[in-house]
């Protein structure tokens, strides 16, 4: 059965005609979109810096020749260290905006670190009972506002200059669904797009678009398809899904690309959720204005492993005359699509160790030799572990080197499936359907690596191994550098062409967030969030007991040349 859906010729012609006669954007909207389309190399205006998801800064003042003189310019501490600092900061016109645990939001002078304003929301006490808390991964900036989704289910817009609340909307019934927002919003034209947590919960997860000016809901997309063939019985009512990370946007096609989370329960003991479970563990192409589904591809039909599609970046990439979308699934396999229609162009593995399938057909995307954990009460050895071949952290694509710098985790697990009745009253409870323990791969030790690869073919140019699998995002720059922070609290600068380490600095706590680069008054800076945290960290001590004692923290380190 085909797992992709595209617009027919007649519909496409209608869309093209509509584009030709559509009225121009209002002047304020045009200015906001122009700013976010990243004409100014000095800024880092959104979560992935640009709509194409590259996480690449064109700045080159800091480069291979002088990076060894990099020194600390300033440090800012948010004052909350639970779950570390998982966010990626944003810089617009010399001001840094970032969010920390418990939804603490800061605006800082990006050259000095001096606080301009801060906002500490009064969160509902229900937050303390939730599974997904108290971390947040980023804010969105646009239309004169700073946007974020809160731990208690609100979307809040702050005045960009003052930090005062411009509007707030209660989008989720968090007391009932136990769900919330933890990912960074994406500002697209006059809308703010974000998705909710839901994958481990007996609910139906959605993706929302709100009007940036008022917070009124523009559209919503339910990631649980209303289809008894896709969800046998009543399983769809508690199907999970959602879209908890940040997507990409193609302005030319007016499409928002968003990955969706896993179905609930995570593990199926047989009959828990019959069908392919659309639209979970899928990549969606949604019309930015209406939220209408233009195409989709389900990377993991009937996901048996919690290998969802919600994580990381979706690279909007043009190659050899083709409009491509490159997306890594949590399983460690990378899917390459024709982004105009969702047809598979290639599939390749980022990981060396996997046994959940024998392989994936690179031409069709078909899973070959599925190996699901199904037998109740009997541990089953599966690679990679539930944290994935890579977690939600992002890689970085450098259009100069044409290489994608990306991390991977070579770790396995024993999964024990357990039957579970979904709890929906008085509030939704976790709906896993099993448990897991981290294990070393067959014949060797678990480890992680940072690779430089061609994102379309998977060809590897260089690789660096880490004892502890890294879970921080990656930055690449026009100065030929790759910046990455590891689990032990060391931030590294590598030569983008060779992988040679050129500089390093110990920040005192491990890295989970996203490094960025920006410039103020002609001077380039590199900002690195430091602060070890993550639900994933709870898995590490089974293999590396010492990780349990790694120091916590939360600090924004900013570096520049001496």
What is the reported pLDDT for 5?
38
33 located within any domain: no
Which residues make beta-bridge pairs with 449? 408, 465
Summarize pLDDT for 118-169 with one digit per residue, the tens. 999 999 999 999 999 999 999 999 999 999 999 999 999 999 999 999 999 9
What is the reported pLDDT for 28?
37
User: Rg for the chain (alpha carbons), in Å?
Assistant: 22
146 located within any domain: yes
149 located within any domain: yes
Summarize pLDDT for 480-500 with one digit per residue, the tens. 999 999 999 999 999 999 999
pLDDT band at 21 (very low <50, low <70, confident <90, very high): very low
302 located within any domain: no
What is the reported pLDDT for 37?
56
pTM summary value: 0.93
Instruction: Locate 38 and state its tokens.
Output: 């990243």
What is the reported pLDDT for 360?
98
Instruction: Locate 338 and state its tokens.
Output: 């024709």
Residue 373's Cβ-count burial label (10 Å; 0-12, 13-18, 19+) is buried
Which range has the worst mean pLDDT, 6-10, 120-124, 298-302, 353-357? 6-10
CB 203 within 8 A of CB 132: no
pLDDT band at 35 (very low <50, low <70, confident <90, very high): low
128 located within any domain: yes
217 located within any domain: no
Total domains in the chain come to 1
Could you tell me the end-to-end alpha-carbon distance of the chain, in angstroms, rounded to an integer?
Answer: 60
Give exposure, 152-191, as e/b (b: 16+ Cβ within 10 Å). bbbbbbbebeebeebbebebbebeebbbbbbbbbbbbbbb
Indicate if the pLDDT at residue 551 is higher than 80.
yes
Ranges of beta strands (E only) in 143-253 are 145-149, 154-159, 165-170, 186-188, 191-195, 204-211, 217-222, 240-241, 248-250
Positions annotated as catalytic residues are: 306
Indicate if the pLDDT at residue 34 is higher than 80.
no
Indicate if the pLDDT at residue 4 is higher than 60.
no
255 located within any domain: no
What is the reported pLDDT for 312?
73
pLDDT band at 6 (very low <50, low <70, confident <90, very high): very low
Q: Quote the domain boundaries for residue 110.
A: 89-136+138-164
Instruction: Locate 93 and state its tokens.
Output: 């016109």
CATH of residue 148's domain is 2.40.10.480
Q: How far apart are CA 325 and CA 339, in angstroms?
A: 5
Average model confidence (pLDDT) across the chain: 93
Residue with the larger pLDDT of the pair 38 and 286: 286
What is the reported pLDDT for 313?
87
């Amino acid at each position: 059965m085909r797992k992709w859906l595209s617009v027919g010729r007649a519909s496409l012609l209608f869309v093209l005609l509509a584009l030709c006669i559509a009225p121009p954007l209002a002047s304020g909207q045009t200015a906001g979109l122009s700013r976010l389309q990243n004409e100014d190399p000095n800024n880092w205006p959104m979560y992935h810096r640009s709509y194409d998801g590259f996480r690449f800064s064109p700045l080159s003042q800091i480069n291979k020749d002088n990076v060894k003189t990099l020194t600390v310019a300033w440090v800012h501490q948010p004052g909350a260290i639970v779950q570390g600092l998982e966010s990626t900061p944003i810089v617009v016109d010399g001001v840094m905006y970032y969010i920390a645990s418990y939804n603490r939001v800061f605006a800082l002078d990006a050259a000095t670190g001096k606080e301009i304003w801060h906002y500490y929301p009064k969160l509902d006490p229900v937050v303390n009972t939730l599974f997904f808390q108290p971390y947040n991964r980023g804010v969105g900036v646009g239309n004169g506002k700073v946007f974020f989704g809160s731990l208690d289910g609100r979307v809040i817009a702050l005045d960009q200059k003052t930090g005062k609340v411009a509007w707030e909307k209660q989008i989720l019934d968090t007391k009932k669904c136990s769900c919330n927002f933890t990912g960074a919003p994406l500002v697209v034209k006059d809308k703010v797009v974000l998705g909710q947590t839901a994958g481990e919960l007996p609910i139906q997860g959605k993706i929302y678009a709100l009007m940036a000016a008022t917070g009124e809901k523009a559209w919503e997309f339910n990631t649980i398809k209303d289809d008894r063939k896709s969800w046998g019985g009543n399983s769809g009512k508690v199907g999970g899904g959602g879209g908890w990370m940040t997507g990409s946007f193609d302005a030319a096609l007016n499409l928002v690309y968003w990955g969706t989370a896993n179905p609930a329960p995570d593990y199926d003991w047989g009959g828990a959720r019959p069908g392919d479970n659309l639209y979970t563990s899928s990549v969606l192409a949604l019309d930015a204005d209406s939220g209408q589904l233009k195409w989709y591809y389900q990377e993991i039909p009937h996901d048996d492993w919690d290998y969802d599609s919600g994580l990381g970046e979706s690279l909007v990439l043009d190659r050899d005359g083709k409009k491509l979308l490159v997306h890594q699934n949590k399983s460690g396999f990378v899917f390459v699509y024709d982004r105009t229609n969702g047809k598979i162009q290639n599939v390749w593995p980022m990981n060396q160790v996997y046994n959940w399938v024998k392989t994936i057909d690179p031409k069709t995307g078909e899973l070959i030799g599925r190996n699901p954990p199904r037998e109740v009460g009997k541990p089953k050895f599966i690679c990679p572990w539930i944290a994935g071949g890579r977690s939600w952290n992002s890689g970085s694509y450098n259009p100069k080197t044409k290489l994608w710098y990306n991390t991977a985790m070579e770790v396995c697990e024993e999964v024990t499936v357990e039957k579970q009745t979904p709890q929906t009253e008085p509030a939704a409870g976790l709906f896993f359907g099993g448990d897991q323990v981290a294990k070393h791969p067959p014949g060797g030790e678990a480890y992680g690596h940072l690779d430089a690869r061609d994102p379309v073919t998977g060809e590897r140019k260089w690789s660096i191994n880490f004892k502890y699998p890294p879970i921080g995002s990656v930055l690449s720059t026009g100065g030929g550098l790759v910046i990455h922070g590891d689990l032990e609290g060391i931030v590294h600068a590598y030569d983008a062409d060779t992988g040679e380490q050129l500089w390093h600095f110990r920040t005192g706590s491990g890295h989970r967030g996203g490094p960025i680069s920006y410039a103020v008054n002609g001077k380039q800076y590199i900002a690195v969030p430091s602060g070890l945290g993550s639900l994933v960290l709870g898995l590490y001590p089974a293999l590396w007991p010492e990780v349990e004692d790694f120091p916590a923290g939360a600090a924004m380190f900013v570096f520049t040349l001496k």
